[in-house]
Structures are given as structure tokens and as C-alpha cells.
């Protein structure tokens, strides 16, 4: 047994020497490869993520169900101890909203007029009972590249707006929305 251990130790030592000797070359090669194949690497990462996405989401869901109380407590504790970080995050979010507001053709009067003129939800055809039922909806969500423009907003009911996915995956099913995306997405 000691001979085998010594033999393996010699191999490990030799491998370490080779690594240290060629370290700089390997680093340079790796950087060059990443530069040349950036798009390929992105696609591979995305495919790997998509293949395992369902499994990852299922594991996360089970973990959250099992540890909901603990997660909630940790979140509260984090918010107490990291107030500055949260303030900065909120400030950045407000800054982003101000930036979006600069790149818009939507005015408050336009939105008020849109809300006042809306009678039914275009998705479920529900009659609005009061103004609280009306939500401003970005057809192509801002977080996936949509803009706060007149051709990208509509008034829909609260229920439809809250059940829409945040990534806008549902927009592919609606032909009228596809036209708005082409107008909004292609020019922005």
C-alpha cells in the first residue's frame, strides 16, 4: 500500500508542476476561447439551464414549502441588518423608473383618459365595476425590453394583470398583441 501511495503522490506532484508551468498559457487560451466562442458559450449555458429548469423550479418549490417560515424570518432579519443596501436598491429602482419616464410618450392625462374610456377588459371581457379594477398593463413587459410607450400600454382588469407572467410568455398567443410588439419592439 505505501508504494501505491508514493506512486500516486509522485503523479500528483508532477501534475502540480505541469499546471504551474503552463498556468499562464492555459489562462490566455481560456480567455481567447471565451472571446471567440462567446455566443456558443451563452447558448450552451442557456440550454443547460432550460434542460434542468423544471427540476430546479420543483426543488426550489419543495424547499420553500418546507422552509417558508424560516425563509420569512431570514428575510426580516436581513432587512433589519441591511437597511442601507435596501435603500440603495430602492433608489436604483426609482432611478430606473425616472429613466424610463424620460423615454416615453405617455403622459398622465393620456393614462387618465385611457382609464376613463375603458369599459371592458380586452382579455376576459369583464365589465369594470370601479376604477380599482383597472390596471395599466405593459403588453411587452418592461423587464423583458418593452417600453413605456402609448403602443405598449393597455388597461386590463386586476385579475388578468396579476395572472400574467412577468416574462411576457403569454403574448405569443394574442395576435393583436403581436402587432403591438412589432411596432414597439422593432423601433425601440
User: Does a structural domain hold residue 19?
Assistant: no
What is the number of structural domains in the chain?
2
Radius of gyration of the chain measured on its C-alpha atoms: 26
CATH number at residue 145: 1.10.30.50
**Residues 92 and 164 occupy one common structural domain:** no
pLDDT at 52: 82
Which residue is listed with cell 414597439?
A: 184
pLDDT at 187: 41
CA distances from 69 to 59, 76, 81, 86 (A): 17, 11, 19, 21
**Residues 130 and 84 occupy one common structural domain:** no
Q: Could you give the CA distance from residue 187 to residue 185 in angstroms, rounded to a whole number?
A: 6
**Structure-block grid coordinates of residue 158:** 386586476
Angle, to 10 degrees, between the axis of helix 83-102 and the axis of helix 38-81? 130
pLDDT at 73: 94
User: Does a structural domain hold residue 17?
Assistant: no
**Structure-block grid coordinates of residue 25:** 498559457
Average pLDDT by stretches of 10, the chain with 188 residues: 70 85 87 90 85 86 93 92 84 68 76 85 85 81 80 87 80 54 46
Query: Do residues 128 and 118 lie in contact, with contact meaning Cβ atoms separated by under 8 Å?
Result: yes
Three-state helix/strand/coil letters over the chain: CHHHHHHHHHHHHHHHHHHHHHHHHHHHHHHHHHHHCHHHHHHHHHHHHHHHHHHHHHHHHHHHHHHHHHHHHHHHHHHHHCHHHHHHHHHHHHHHHHHHHHCCCCCHHHHHHHHHHCCECCCCCCECCCHHHEEEEECCCHHHCCCCCHHHEEEEEHHHHHHCCCCCHHHHHCHHHHHHHHHHHHHC
For residue 131, the enclosing domain spans 106-187
**Residues 98 and 110 occupy one common structural domain:** no
pLDDT at 8: 81
Residues in the chain, total: 188
User: Does a structural domain hold residue 93?
Assistant: yes
Amino acid at each position: 500500500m505505501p508504494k501505491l501511495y508514493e506512486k500516486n503522490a509522485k503523479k500528483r506532484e508532477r501534475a502540480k508542476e505541469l499546471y504551474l508551468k503552463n498556468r499562464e498559457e492555459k489562462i490566455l487560451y481560456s480567455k481567447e476561447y471565451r472571446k471567440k466562442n462567446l455566443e456558443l458559450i451563452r447558448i450552451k449555458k442557456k440550454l443547460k439551464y432550460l434542460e434542468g429548469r423544471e427540476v430546479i423550479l420543483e426543488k426550489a418549490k419543495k424547499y420553500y414549502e418546507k422552509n417558508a417560515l424560516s425563509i420569512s424570518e431570514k428575510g426580516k432579519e436581513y432587512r433589519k441588518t441591511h437597511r442601507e443596501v435596501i435603500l440603495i436598491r430602492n433608489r436604483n429602482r426609482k432611478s430606473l423608473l425616472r429613466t424610463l419616464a424620460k423615454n416615453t410618450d405617455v403622459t398622465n392625462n393620456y393614462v387618465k383618459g385611457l382609464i376613463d374610456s375603458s369599459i371592458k377588459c380586452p382579455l376576459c371581457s369583464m365589465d369594470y365595476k370601479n376604477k380599482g379594477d383597472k390596471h395599466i398593463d405593459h403588453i411587452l413587459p418592461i423587464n423583458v425590453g418593452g417600453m413605456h410607450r402609448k403602443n405598449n400600454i393597455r388597461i386590463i382588469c386586476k385579475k388578468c394583470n396579476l395572472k400574467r407572467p412577468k416574462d411576457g410568455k403569454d403574448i405569443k398567443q394574442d395576435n393583436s398583441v403581436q402587432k403591438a410588439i412589432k411596432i414597439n419592439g422593432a423601433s425601440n
